[in-house]
């Protein structure tokens, strides 16, 4: 057997494809998280206001929002592997640019390239997984792939902090940049199967209502993360005098919950269906978990409620992935499907903080969480009703 034959045999394995997609998503989220302990250094280093640093941070989500659908459609036309390879090499370039940045403009450029790379790798990577996986197991496989998000979120800040402390600023970015480039070259070396479609329909016939249900679920879940990420640390500090280390631990618990729950939710959907319970019920009970978190009289009870929140949000999000795949499967447009997923996720993730900021001017912080809980409960009930009319499994 020649080396080429061996590579083709490896590429034909759905398990190998899953490992590659998990590795790509993990690298993106690890480098995303790596920046978290570094970003506070930028305001004094470049002599800018912290709000400017917040704009740099938010550029990633803006690029993901703008480029996910174009990248997904492009992957339908040219194949998944080229987009993944280019995306990983762009990620390596963006990460190296952070290491050599000397002005705030350099940071904006690096963050822009990083967001574009994420749009390419996420849209093409998830589409590749849908192309090569048995539809009867797609929920579980997507759950495993999404678990890489939580794992990268946990590992990234730790790696970033350690590299910064022991190797210095530049090496903090050059080491991950090298790893991202290596992952891109590995994907390039393996001739993974891919589908090409000359023309990808953005809205297949009869898909408007199913897409609306998917969009509502995705935006509601990501909106929740958009509210939790900036405002839960403030609540924990004000209510329990939680230290930065304790706040980090609370978010690690949230990430662990998603790592554990997402594959399980996907397996449940694959075997039994129950999208009505998983999506509608998951969103509604996420609202209950938020309410419990802000009403808890002790920090450990809040931590427990945050863990439950991670479980129910996972239950709501994971089934949407195979449902989207099913909508577009007959049209060979999996890139369009997951470009749409990334776009709606970015909408919620970007809108959540702005909505919270608007309400914070007139409401106390606990009332903002209460508003989010009510919002989730209402969306969950509406999706429950809509799924019943759509007769989803």
Residue 201 lies in a domain: no
Do 113 and 249 belong together in one domain? no
Reply yes or no on whether the pLDDT at 137 is more than 70: yes
pLDDT digits (tens, 9 = 90+) for 18-56: 999 999 999 999 998 887 767 667 777 777 776 677 678
Do 8 and 146 belong together in one domain? yes
Determine the structural domain holding residue 345 and report its residue range. Answer: 208-390
Q: How high is the pLDDT of residue 41?
A: 72
pLDDT digits (tens, 9 = 90+) for 145-161: 999 988 888 888 888 87
Q: How high is the pLDDT of residue 358?
A: 78
pLDDT digits (tens, 9 = 90+) for 60-99: 888 999 999 999 999 988 889 999 999 999 999 999 999 8
**Do residues 196 and 47 make contact, with C-beta atoms less than 8 angstroms apart?**
no
Do 220 and 326 belong together in one domain? yes
Do 147 and 255 belong together in one domain? no
Q: How high is the pLDDT of residue 214?
A: 94
Residue 184 lies in a domain: yes
Separation in Å, CA 350 to CA 9, 46, 220: 42, 25, 12
Please report the DSSP string for 158-210 in residue order: HHHHHHHHHT-HHHHHHHHHHHHHHHHHHHHHS-------SS--SS-TT-HHH
Do 270 and 175 belong together in one domain? no
Do 266 and 305 belong together in one domain? yes
Reply yes or no on whether the pLDDT at 124 is more than 90: yes
User: What three-state secondary structure class fits 48?
Assistant: coil
Do 176 and 302 belong together in one domain? no
Residue 327 lies in a domain: yes
In this prediction, residue 295 has a pLDDT band, given cuts at 50, 70 and 90, of very high
Reply yes or no on whether the pLDDT at 345 is more than 70: yes
Do 279 and 155 belong together in one domain? no
128 or 328: which leads in pLDDT: 128
In this prediction, residue 3 has a pLDDT band, given cuts at 50, 70 and 90, of low
pLDDT digits (tens, 9 = 90+) for 183-237: 999 999 888 776 666 566 666 777 788 899 999 999 999 999 988 887 888 888 8
Q: How high is the pLDDT of residue 192?
A: 76
113 or 15: which leads in pLDDT: 113
Q: How high is the pLDDT of residue 201?
A: 64
Over the range 148-161, which residues count as b (16 or more CB within 10 Å of their CB) and which as e? bbbbbbbbbbebbe
Q: How high is the pLDDT of residue 356?
A: 80
**Do residues 30 and 85 make contact, with C-beta atoms less than 8 angstroms apart?**
no
Across the chain, what does the average pLDDT equal? Answer: 87
E strand residue ranges, 200-293: none
Rounded to an integer, the average pLDDT of 291-316 is 95
pLDDT digits (tens, 9 = 90+) for 240-290: 998 877 888 888 899 999 999 999 999 999 999 999 999 999 999 999 999
Q: How high is the pLDDT of residue 224?
A: 93
Q: How high is the pLDDT of residue 364?
A: 87
Residue 241 lies in a domain: yes
The model's pTM is: 0.88
Do 226 and 374 belong together in one domain? yes
Residue 32 lies in a domain: yes
Q: How high is the pLDDT of residue 332?
A: 62
Residue 196 lies in a domain: no
Reply yes or no on whether the pLDDT at 162 is more than 90: no
At 99, which CATH number? 1.20.1250.20
Structural domain tally of the chain?
2
Query: How far is residue 108's CA from residue 363's CA, in Å, rounded to a whole number?
Result: 33
Q: How high is the pLDDT of residue 88?
A: 97
Residue 173 lies in a domain: yes
Residue 27 lies in a domain: yes
Separation in Å, CA 301 to CA 176, 189, 250, 291, 367: 36, 49, 11, 12, 19
**Residue 49 CB neighbours (<10 A):** 9
φ, ψ for residue 135 (rounded to 5)? -55, -25
Do 151 and 280 belong together in one domain? no
How far does CA 340 lie from the centroid of its chain? 13
């Amino acid at each position: 057997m020649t080396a080429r034959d061996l590579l083709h045999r490896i590429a034909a394995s759905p398990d190998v494809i899953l490992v590659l997609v998990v590795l790509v998503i993990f690298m993106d989220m690890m480098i995303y998280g790596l920046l978290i302990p570094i970003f506070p250094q930028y305001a004094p280093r470049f002599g800018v206001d912290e709000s400017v640093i917040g704009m740099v941070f938010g550029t990633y989500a803006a690029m993901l929002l703008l480029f996910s659908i174009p990248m997904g459609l492009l992957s339908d036309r040219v194949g998944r592997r080229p987009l993944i390879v280019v995306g990983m090499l762009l990620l390596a370039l963006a990460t190296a640019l952070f290491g050599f940045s000397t002005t705030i403009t350099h940071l904006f450029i690096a963050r822009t390239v990083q967001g574009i790379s994420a749009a390419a790798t996420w849209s093409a990577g998830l589409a590749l997984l849908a192309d090569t996986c048995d539809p009867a197991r797609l929920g579980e496989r997507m759950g495993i792939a999404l678990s890489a998000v939580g794992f990268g979120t946990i590992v990234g800040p730790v790696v970033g902090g350690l590299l910064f402390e022991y190797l210095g600023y530049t090496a903090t970015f050059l080491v991950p940049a090298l790893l991202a480039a290596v992952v891109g070259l590995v994907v390039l070396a393996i001739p993974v199967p891919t589908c090409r479609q000359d023309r990808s329909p953005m809205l297949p016939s009869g898909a408007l209502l199913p897409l609306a249900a998917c969009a509502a679920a995705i935006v509601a879940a990501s909106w929740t993360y958009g509210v939790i990420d900036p405002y839960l640390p403030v609540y924990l500090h004000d209510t329990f005098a939680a230290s930065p280390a304790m706040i980090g631990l609370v978010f690690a618990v949230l990430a662990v919950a998603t790592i554990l729950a997402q594959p399980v939710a996907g397996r449940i959907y694959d075997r039994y269906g129950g999208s009505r319970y998983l999506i509608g019920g998951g969103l509604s009970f996420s609202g209950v978990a938020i309410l419990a978190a802000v009403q808890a009289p002790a920090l450990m009870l809040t931590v427990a409620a945050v863990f439950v929140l991670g479980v129910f949000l996972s239950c709501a999000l994971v089934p949407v992935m195979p449902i989207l795949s099913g909508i577009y499967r007959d049209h060979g447009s999996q890139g369009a499907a997951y470009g749409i997923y990334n776009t709606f996720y970015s909408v919620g993730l970007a809108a959540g903080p702005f909505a919270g900021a608007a309400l914070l001017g007139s409401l106390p912080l606990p009332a903002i969480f209460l508003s989010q809980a009510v919002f989730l409960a209402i969306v969950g009930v509406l999706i429950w009703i809509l799924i019943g009319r759509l007769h989803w499994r």
